[in-house]
Amino acid sequence: MDATESRSGRLLGALLDFAFPPLCPGCDQYLDSEAPVCAVCRGKFDLYDFAFCVNCRLQVGIWPECPSCGNDLLPLFALGNYVDPLKQVVIEIKFRGILRPLDLLANSLVETFGDRIASRQADCLTPIPLHPTREYERGYNQASELAHVLSHRLDLPVADDLLVRTGKRRPQQMLPAARRAKNIRGVFEALDYDRGGRRILLVDDVVTSGETVREAARVLAQQGHCVVGVLAIAHGV
Ligand SMILES: [Zn+2]
Ligand SMILES: [Zn+2]
């Protein structure tokens, strides 16, 4: 984008903000600053400073194995608990295309977990893909948008061509925990033209039971890749 385009883009943005002042995605109040989320909502985020084991969902440090479940460690670095107002911000990102908070959320995630994420020595970030039809309807994949913002902060490339979603299933959050593993099984395919061996950080907006990221990790492992962690905005039930 040249300077004229970026100036006209900024002017258009300023005019739109004047005509339609942006609302805080957490509480729907008018924003009186350039911040993407109001200070009240930011103050109410239930933030984490610890990682979770994706397998047993208990808090973990960074060891080769989870001391609770004994599985190879798959740490989840999530910014906070999936409750309001963070939950409302995630919903606005996902369903209404309000992407402005992503910068703030990615920065906070890296501020809290940057060292621990770096210790996983990943080669790339891979967003959990949407089914192509759903991505076409929505116009974007929120996990991919988050991965691209994180890519700059973590200095890691986005590899969004390793995994595709071939099956259409019911959203995991609509199902009881006991049915989620079966619902997600076989939904992804790893693309086999890529030679394996990459250390991958998966990126998703919300991780709940962990079945989706575990299934993605399983499929990627069949191509010789190793998922070494998961990054998400929120962790919920
Ligand atoms: Zn707010
Ligand atoms: Zn565990």
Are 20 and 131 part of one and the same domain? no
Please tell me the number of the ligand nearest to residue 40's CA.
Answer: 1
In this predicted structure, the answer to whether residue 19 has a pLDDT above a threshold of 80 is no
Measured in angstroms, how far is the CA atom of residue 215 from the centroid of ligand 1? 35
Return d(Cα 173, Cα 84) in angstroms, integer: 16
Rounded to 10 deg, the angle between the 86-96 and 101-118 helix axes is 110
Percent of the chain's residues with pLDDT above 90: 64
What pLDDT score does 8 carry? 65
Ligand nearest to the CA of 28: 1
Ligand nearest to the CA of 101: 1
pLDDT, tens digit (0-9, with 9 covering 90-100), for 132-156: 999 999 999 999 999 999 999 999 9
36, 104 contact by CB (below 8 A): yes
- pLDDT at residue 104 in the model: 96
Name the percent of the chain lying above pLDDT 70. Answer: 88
Q: Same domain for 27 and 111?
A: no
| pLDDT score, position 71 | 77
Mean pLDDT of 161-165: 92
Residue with tokens 């998703």: 204
The amino acid at 73: L
What is the DSSP annotation of 3-47? HHHHHHHHHHHHHHHHHSPPBPTTT-PBPSSS-SS-HHHHHH--B
CA distance 91 to 178: 24
Give, as one character, the DSSP assignment of residue 214: H
Instruction: Name the band, by pLDDT with cuts 50, 70 and 90, for residue 18.
Output: low
Total of domains in the chain: 2
Pairing of β 199-207 and β 226-235: parallel
CB atoms within 10 A of CB 124: 17
Domain identity same for 1 and 72: no
> Which DSSP string corresponds to 84-135?
TTHHHHHHHHHHH---THHHHHHHHHHHHHHHHHHTT--SEEEEPPPPHHHH
pLDDT bracket for residue 3 (50, 70, 90)? very low
Say whether both 96 and 13 belong to one domain.
Answer: no
For residue 167, the model assigns a pLDDT of: 77
Q: What pLDDT score does 68 carry?
A: 80
Same domain, 118 and 4: no
Euclidean distance between CA atoms 128 and 145, whole angstroms: 11
- Check pLDDT > 60 for residue 162: yes
CATH number of the domain where residue 120 is located: 3.40.50
> What's the CA-to-centroid distance between 36 and ligand 1, angstroms?
9
Domain range for residue 154? 45-235
Centre of ligand 2 from the C-alpha of residue 69, in Å: 4
Range with the lowest mean pLDDT among 8-12, 163-167, 224-228? Answer: 8-12
What is the whole-number distance in angstroms between the Cα of residue 63 and the centre of ligand 2? 11
Find the 37 Cα to ligand 1 centroid distance in Å. 6
143 and 223, same domain (yes or no): yes
- 120 and 61 inside one domain: yes
Distance 170 CA to ligand 2 centre (A): 26
Same domain, 196 and 121: yes
Q: Which of 145, 120, 139, 109 is nearest to 198 (CA)?
A: 120
> Binning pLDDT at 50, 70 and 90, where does residue 1 land?
very low
- Stronger pLDDT, 213 or 176, i.e. the higher one: 213
Give the confidence band of 2 by pLDDT, cuts at 50, 70, 90: very low
* Shortest-distance ligand to the CA of residue 60: 2
Does residue 7 have a pLDDT over 70?
Answer: no
Q: List CB contacts of 129: < 8 A, sequence separation 6 or more.
A: 135, 141, 143, 144, 160, 163, 164, 165, 188
Same domain for 59 and 12, yes or no, is no
C-alpha 61 to ligand 1 mean position (Å): 32
Identify the nearest ligand to the CA of 71 by its number. Answer: 2
Ligand nearest to the CA of 51: 2
Q: Are residues 181 and 95 in the same domain?
A: yes
pLDDT digits (tens, 9 = 90+) for 190-215: 886 667 789 999 999 999 989 999 99
Output the CA 125–ligand 2 centroid distance in Å.
Answer: 22
Residues with CB under 5 A from ligand 1 (ion): 24, 26-27, 38, 41
Q: Tell me the ligand closest to 33's alpha carbon.
A: 1
Q: What pTM did the predictor assign?
A: 0.87
Per-residue pLDDT for 72 more than 90? no
25 C-alpha vs ligand 1 centroid, how far in Å? 6
Helix (H) or strand (E) holding 148: helix 142-154
Are 29 and 23 contacting, i.e. CB atoms less than 8 angstroms apart? Answer: yes
Average pLDDT, the chain: 88
Ligand 2 mean position to 113 CA, how many Å? 19
Q: Are residues 71 and 1 in the same domain?
A: no
Cβ contact 65:71 at 8 Å: yes
Same-domain check for residues 33 and 58 = no
Q: Does position 4 have pLDDT exceeding 60, yes or no?
A: no
